[in-house]
Structure 1
């Protein structure tokens, strides 16, 4: 069967959009579960009613997000088999096990304790309920570990051999703890926590701006921003460490991310300039124009002034990744990371000078608006970070071993259009529905009328 040239492009764009629609949900599930545990723990320690109200309020948002993540996650796994069946067949003995580990040790584990966390109020003791919430935190983090492990193995495949075109695991420890996972997983977990903290901060800042339960939400805003001073700073450091891993294990991907076309200058000296902005020519062999800072690329990637950094000219033309998407996606992600760090420092400064008392915080309207705006930026950072990671790996589906074109299902153009339309319609339906209900809960605010729950012993 002769395929239309557009089928390959549609398959790639289709799966890119499917994963992009899914990845906005799990990070909030993972990070917000930890914040729910913290809020419930503070309630038990202080017996302050507002901690209970905050926990129950954000738990509603957690539930909506959790459901949307499950729905789009199932769709994404379905898309693997439909759009990339040869890849699923070849990598099934490895990825099938990793995703199976995630299902057994994380998803089913989490689903059970989510039920206790959501429906256990009034029915189990407060200590047991806190234990259930803690297990949701552990299970969601385990889920992130297994999913990132599977993706990281595609970036740096180790511990396998190929038999008749099928990947067979020869050392499961090397498969699971491949080089990329050791830095990619902490980077993703920190991204989840950073997104969730800014989500809480943004919702809280909006409530303060509207003078709705301002005292309660000012406390949540303060705690979130103080935590973000540390989390956002550590994230920048871990992100830099991941960059070093990419430079070592995927030099072509690093060259694409940096728009680094030539290893050496025309005079033979190492090309150490870092491109702030650039645009490649038609065949990705050079930049049409660029704005560069001398020596900075070498400092970033080798920690020296003038050591060489491998450029795209060291790779065959058919093994070079696209440049525009990873180059600009990476810069957007990094810029957002630094911006969020400075927003957290702004919050720290206001706290130090005593501006977090409610009557004074309500006057900091530009700061509050900035925090509300910043709540959307971690989503964009995760999107652009994921696009950087996936596009820079091209043309490989399993780096250096299996090309994306080899893993794609043979499909007619009408069939590809049908699946594309179906997946997009479902993803957009979930997105609109999740946003509608999240916005509705935020507008309604916390339930201040119901009495504080009692446990089975009748204790407050």
Structure 2
């Protein structure tokens, strides 16, 4: 029994390690692909060389990040079969199909156009290249959609029935459009855009602080901050909507996220406060201490002053998730999101005062340093948001239908340790290499010397035929 529980724990740690590193890369791929399309469109629209230089510079960063995402993504798919074989077999009729849809409609679709985007400069027409960039952005968003469909189904499984140990699909529409995905996918997609915008803003602010290429990087910084004025509050709104879904369909997860143990007060009344900080007691049936704001949790989840929010006392002890990780990771995510929204509003205010122009932007060193610092916050937010989502679902791998202990592969502890060490080494190698090359490209800066590419001489469907010349005829002296 002890070995079995240790094996389950190691499987969870192993997969948590793999997903925690993989989740760093796809959001930037999705968001930055869209920004590359915008940069390239602006170049074609204005014929301004600066937009071309920006496109080629950020495309290099995109390629590095994309490669890391592919490497860690393939590793994660391998881990499903290695670490969670019984789950993969049971959920195959739905989960496997959805991952297949992602491969066909997103991964292969993206692979078909990313080659044109990277290697097509000067070889295909400008419009065709812009079309390729658009399709890379669109296909990466499709990929995020299918992955969120699969994960959301694990949170709120609908449209299936568990029969003879296998999830059989009874309603594909209900399974794909499960309750969680309706807010879960938009929340993740907007997170991708927010991360990419802060990434571009942070890199641009770094160049401006060092007074390098200010004329070039002032514009993406200004555009990114103005976009964030809309994107950052939208993300908060979508997060609130997702919280409502969790409250309705996963009451145990919400109670763990809020450290909420008791549905009613001792006198039988309802005053569901929101804990700023808290720590579970030794028995695990309450908080040893907590700093609480009265009524706030009721306002957040029921939008009423004394609305009832079910606590962990309504959940059987064996079905209760851990509290500490989702409680504090959720608060870190919220704090990071609020800080990013304030930075966006600060940037919008500076833009209104015309202090983000190329001539004046360097006069805001404090703001620029804050923007550089904020470039890392979306990564922290995505990380902690993912931990909140996955840990709060425990002890279920498919919420309410299959326990994690039932879904893990039956491996010995030494074999679990072997895979854990191997995956840790691989993910750290990819992580170190990715940030080394990203930093190297950023330090070098954009290429300002190579000629701007023009229309390709060999366009798709318009390959020029080689010209054949008749051999010159020798001249003979004419007869007198």
Where on the TM-score scale, by shorter chain, does this alignment land: which range?
A: over 0.9
Q: Is 1:414–2:414 an aligned residue pair?
A: yes
* 1:457 positional shift: 6.0
Q: What 5-or-longer segments of structure 2 have no aligned partner?
A: 460-480
For 2:220, the equivalent position in structure 1 comes to 220
For 1:268, the equivalent position in structure 2 comes to 268
**Runs in 1 of length 4+ with deviation above 6 angstroms?**
none
Q: Is 1:326–2:298 an aligned residue pair?
A: no
* 1:410 positional shift: 1.4
How far apart, in 2, do the equivalents of 1:341 and 1:205 lie? 17
How far apart, in 2, do the equivalents of 1:270 and 1:284 lie? 21
For 2:18, the equivalent position in structure 1 comes to 18
For 1:48, the equivalent position in structure 2 comes to 48
Secondary structure of 1:248's partner?
Answer: helix
Q: Deviations over 1:73-112 (max 9, x none)?
A: 0111111111111111111111000000000000000011
CA RMSD, Structure 1 to Structure 2 (Å): 1.3
Contact kept? 2:123, 2:458, Cα under 8 Å? no
Secondary structure of 2:278's partner?
Answer: strand
Q: Deviations over 1:313-335 (max 9, x none)?
A: 00100001100111111110011
Contact kept? 1:284, 1:323, Cα under 8 Å? no
Select between 204-213 and 181-190 the one with higher mean Cα deviation: 204-213
Q: Is 1:99–2:99 an aligned residue pair?
A: yes
Contact kept? 1:3, 1:410, Cα under 8 Å? no
* 1:364 positional shift: 1.2
For 1:31, the equivalent position in structure 2 comes to 31
* 1:2 positional shift: 7.9
Secondary structure of 2:3's partner?
Answer: coil
For 1:451, the equivalent position in structure 2 comes to 451
Select between 1-10 and 447-456 the one with higher mean Cα deviation: 1-10
* 1:4 positional shift: 5.7
* 1:351 positional shift: 1.4
Q: Deviations over 1:369-401 (max 9, x none)?
A: 110110001000000000000000001000000
How far apart, in 2, do the equivalents of 1:196 and 1:62 lie? 10
How far apart, in 2, do the equivalents of 1:92 and 1:146 lie? 15
Instruction: Give the length in aligned residue pairs.
Output: 459
How far apart, in 1, do the equivalents of 2:7 and 2:82 lie? 13
* 1:5 positional shift: 4.3
After superposition, residues 222-261 of structure 1 pair within 5 angstroms as 222-261=222-261
Q: What 5-or-longer segments of structure 1 have no aligned partner?
A: none
For 2:425, the equivalent position in structure 1 comes to 425
TM-score, scaled relative to structure 1 = 0.98
Contact kept? 2:330, 2:384, Cα under 8 Å? yes
Secondary structure of 1:157's partner?
Answer: coil
How far apart, in 1, do the equivalents of 2:413 and 2:458 lie? 64
For 2:74, the equivalent position in structure 1 comes to 74
* 1:12 positional shift: 0.9
How far apart, in 1, do the equivalents of 2:5 and 2:179 lie? 36
